[in-house]
Structure 1
Amino acid sequence: MDWDVAIERNREALKRILAMLVAMVGLADGETTLPRRSHRAILALLRPVEAAARRLVIVVARDLVVSPRPRKVKPLPDTVFVRTGKGTGIVLPYGVKPSAILPNLVLRRAAPRTVALPLLDPLPKWPGGRHRQVGGVPRILAPGYSEPRFIPGRCRLSPDDRIDATRLALRLQAVGRALDDLPREARRFARWRRRAAAAGAQNLESGAAGKVRRVWPLRPGCPPGSCRGPAHQVHEVLADLQYFAFRALERRDSS
């Protein structure tokens, strides 16, 4: 099997689909919101694109062996104020700005936020969990002391409502960076596999259960964003990469 041909073919297909999604977003300068219908349509295609890109990274890292990298030192915070009371600093009450306490204080502006492509599939939500109703109103009445109150109905969502698309744009950028530099993402995945294998071997030697860690990057069952009948090109690409990713993981485990 020619792995390089399979990698390049699926990489180019994902880049074309990603370019289509970026064109669908079409945020102008200074605009950060999208209509609800557009946001949902893009998100429905972004999930399988992320899952396919994750499996493409696994295929690229099939024979990669990396050395352990020294752990980075966490940088110091930019300000002495803390909100939650955790850590060392001045506890700042909610709603109070630092300039109200120290008028001449100059804070450094944080760098633009970026996100990386997740290396592990999100685990499915198993049924049977406790359902929490959002926005519920207590219905406790005391006969003779309280009167029934009017409970307003929940507002219906409109497909034209504007939704913040900042997180959506960051996820699109993360997929684009991963497709442009697959070797870097493959090294990330190889380092994760090394850490997972080392933690599992340490728990076996010590005989303790230790912290629960994932040792398999793919979720059980169908991949995220898949559908029974291919409705878009991305679903066909995802089905192919699902097969290739399993082949790559089995090849690494048997070697």
Structure 2
Amino acid sequence: MDGTAAIQRNLEALKRILVMLVAMAGMGAEEPGAGGVGAGGQFTFFPRKGAAASRQVLAEKSKLSPALNPALSLPRHLYLAILRLLRPAEAAARRLIIAAARGIVVTLPPLRPRKPKPATLRGPRAFLPKGPKKRAKVTRRTLSLSLLDPPRRLLRVPRRAVPAHAAPRILGLDFGATYHPLPPPPSPNDQIDAARLAQRLAALGAALDDLPGQAKRFARWQARRDDAIARDGPVSGRRLSPLRRGRPPGGRLSRYDPTATHSYRIRDVDEILAHAHALAVYALETPDTS
């Protein structure tokens, strides 16, 4: 089974979905590459209509990743609509990376020997003043799509807290207490900080622009996992499979069937995710050892 054509077809479809999500979020893409995604998955942010003037100054003619742009905020209904499509798109991209990594063999560098811990100072040396501490170097973390599915929360304890807008109004016996009105219930038009959402869009764009590099990254993760298992044996809590059991995150299809007819609730991203999941499962169960 050669899934190269299927991987490429689903990759192009995911790029189109990503461009749609970027447009929904009010972000544009300069210097578009394949599928409208900029080089390296970087997008230029254009504020939506009605944004404050200070936010427009921050985003004016600046080619920034959304992770570095603090000016992005979206209405609640639009934020949730993007999130409902972004989650299955991330899962589909993760499975395309796993499928593309089939047959890739990598060689890990040798493990660095651990430095022995200094012995505890004893005697008169214990009272000598210590030298100045070295300042730790600040390294900026790069955006990257997670190669592992988020774990499923099995024991989900229901929240017992009462929402703020429905809290009981008990003022006590003090008749002179100041009355504080309750906050209004959440509205679909409330502005929500979308900086984290923009980071996820940028990470997804970078992964789709560099699928071979992400496939090598996943092959390195597999090699490190196999090396750790061979060295330490099975350890409780260690992640063995990048995919979680059951339905993929955010998907509405349990399996891929190109001949089946679906209801109106099934979106294009659900079909892409189901097909990508089948490709990833096949790549994990039948590795290419040639």
Aligned equivalent of 1:57, options 97, 100, 112? 97
* Aligned residues of 1:57 and 1:186 also touching (Cα < 8 A): yes
SS at match of 2:287: helix
Aligned equivalent of 1:193, options 222, 227, 232? 222
Aligned equivalent of 1:241, options 250, 273, 276? 276
Q: Name 1:126's counterpart in structure 2.
A: 154
Q: Name 1:180's counterpart in structure 2.
A: 209
Aligned equivalent of 1:34, options 57, 74, 91? 74
- Separation in structure 1 between the aligned mates of residue 243 and residue 267 of structure 2, nearest angstrom: 22
Q: Shift of residue 196 of structure 1? A: 1.2
Q: Shift of residue 211 of structure 1? A: 6.0
- Separation in structure 2 between the aligned mates of residue 119 and residue 18 of structure 1, nearest angstrom: 18
- Separation in structure 2 between the aligned mates of residue 44 and residue 70 of structure 1, nearest angstrom: 42
* Aligned residues of 2:99 and 2:279 also touching (Cα < 8 A): yes
Q: Shift of residue 128 of structure 1? A: 4.9
- Separation in structure 2 between the aligned mates of residue 249 and residue 55 of structure 1, nearest angstrom: 10
Task: Tell me which stretches of 4 or more aligned residues in structure 1 moved more than 6 Å.
Answer: 148-152
Q: Shift of residue 135 of structure 1? A: 7.3
Q: Name 2:143's counterpart in structure 1.
A: 115
| CA 122–134 in structure 1, closer or farther in 2 if over 3 Å, else same | farther
| CA 134–115 in structure 1, closer or farther in 2 if over 3 Å, else same | farther
Q: Is the deviation greater in 122-131 or in 170-179?
A: 122-131
SS at match of 2:107: coil
- Separation in structure 2 between the aligned mates of residue 89 and residue 155 of structure 1, nearest angstrom: 50
Aligned equivalent of 2:193, options 164, 168, 187? 164
Matches within 5 A, 1:18-167: 18-27=18-27, 28=46, 29=56, 30=59, 31-69=71-109, 114-129=142-157, 131=159, 133=161, 147=173, 153=182, 155-167=184-196
- Separation in structure 2 between the aligned mates of residue 66 and residue 23 of structure 1, nearest angstrom: 38
Aligned equivalent of 2:246, options 208, 221, 244? 221
| CA 156–253 in structure 1, closer or farther in 2 if over 3 Å, else same | farther
Larger RCO (CA under 8 A, 6+ residues apart): 1
Q: Is the deviation greater in 5-14 or in 227-236?
A: 227-236
TM-score normalized by structure 1? Answer: 0.72
Q: Shift of residue 109 of structure 1? A: 9.6
- Separation in structure 2 between the aligned mates of residue 182 and residue 252 of structure 1, nearest angstrom: 18
SS at match of 1:252: coil
- Separation in structure 1 between the aligned mates of residue 231 and residue 139 of structure 2, nearest angstrom: 38
SS at match of 1:163: strand
| CA 47–128 in structure 1, closer or farther in 2 if over 3 Å, else same | closer
| CA 26–6 in structure 1, closer or farther in 2 if over 3 Å, else same | same
For the aligned residue pairs, the C-alpha RMSD in angstroms reads 3.4
Letter of the 1:25 partner, please give it. A
| CA 4–128 in structure 1, closer or farther in 2 if over 3 Å, else same | closer
- Separation in structure 1 between the aligned mates of residue 184 and residue 100 of structure 2, nearest angstrom: 48
Q: Name 1:104's counterpart in structure 2.
A: none
> What do the CA deviations read for 1:195-254 (whole angstroms, capped 9, x no partner)?
1111112222xxxx6562101000111000111555211110001011111000001298
SS at match of 1:17: helix
- Separation in structure 2 between the aligned mates of residue 69 and residue 133 of structure 1, nearest angstrom: 51
| CA 246–109 in structure 1, closer or farther in 2 if over 3 Å, else same | closer
| CA 152–240 in structure 1, closer or farther in 2 if over 3 Å, else same | same
* Aligned residues of 2:102 and 2:288 also touching (Cα < 8 A): no
| CA 127–34 in structure 1, closer or farther in 2 if over 3 Å, else same | same
- Separation in structure 1 between the aligned mates of residue 284 and residue 14 of structure 2, nearest angstrom: 21
* Aligned residues of 1:114 and 1:170 also touching (Cα < 8 A): no
* Count of aligned pairs: 213
